[in-house]
Chains A and B, each alone.
Chain A
Amino acid sequence: QKEVEQNSGPLSVPEGAIASLNCTYSDRGSQSFFWYRQYSGKSPELIMSIYSNGDKEDGRFTAQLNKASQYVSLLIRDSQPSDSATYLCAGDAADKLIFGTGTRLQVFP
C-alpha cells in the first residue's frame, strides 16, 4: 500500500527559529509533492509544491525533495506564532494524492 509518513509531533519551536518538518513516501512513481497547512477547524490550504530534486524557496518556506531517499521536507524560517498549525505532506499516486497524517507545529513566543 502506498504511504506517506510524517512524525505527528507536536514539534515545538521558539519564535524566530527554523522549523523543520519531514516526510517520507513509499511510491517511487510519485512525481509531485505538496505541503498543506491546516489550522484547527479549517480546511487544508496549499503552501508549497515541489516536483524536482533539490530545494524550492517561497518567502519563509523552503521545500526540499530527495527522490533517491524518498524524502520531502519543509523548512519554515523565522517561525511565527501564526505558523502554529498542522502541516500535511502529500504525494501523487496516479489519479489521487496520498496524504500523511500531519505534523502539529507549535511556535511559542
Chain B
Amino acid sequence: NAGVTQTPKFRILKIGQSMTLQCTQDMNHNYMYWYRQDPGMGLKLIYYSVGAGITDKGEVPNGYNVSRSTTEDFPLRLELAAPSQTSVYFCASNPYPRVGGQPQHFGDGTRLSIL
C-alpha cells in the first residue's frame, strides 16, 4: 500500500521558473493538504481540498496554485519561483478530520531550492 506519494523528492529551480509538485494518494481520502516547512519551523498550510473540484486557501497561499480534478491527485504549482519559496513541501491526506478524529497521513516530502 503506497499511501501518499510525492514527486519529485528534490528539485533545484532558478528564480522565475515554474514547476508542479505532484501528490497522489491511493487511500480514497477526500481531504488533502499541502504544507511547507522551513528549517527549524513548524508546518504551514498552503492549500487544502475537501474533495474533487473543491480547494481552499490555507495560511500561506501566495505564489502557489492547486487543482483537484480527481480524488487521488492534488498537484501544487509554483508559477514564478522566488527564493522565499525554498522549503520542504509535504502533502498529506485523511478521510475526514473530525469524525473519529482521523489523523493525517504524510508523504515523504519534496525538497525545493530556488537559486
Contacts and interface: CB of A to CB of B under 8 A. Distances in A.
Contact of A96 (B45, B90, B101, B106): B45
Interface residues of B, number: 22
A95 B42 contact: no
A47 B45 CA distance: 21
Given A32-B98, A95-B97, A101 B45 contact: no
A80 interface: no
A107 B105 CA distance: 26
A68 B98 CA distance: 19
Interface of A: 31-34, 42-46, 49, 51, 88, 90, 92, 94-97, 99-102
Interface of B: 31, 33, 35, 41-43, 45, 48, 50, 56, 58, 90, 97-98, 101, 103-109
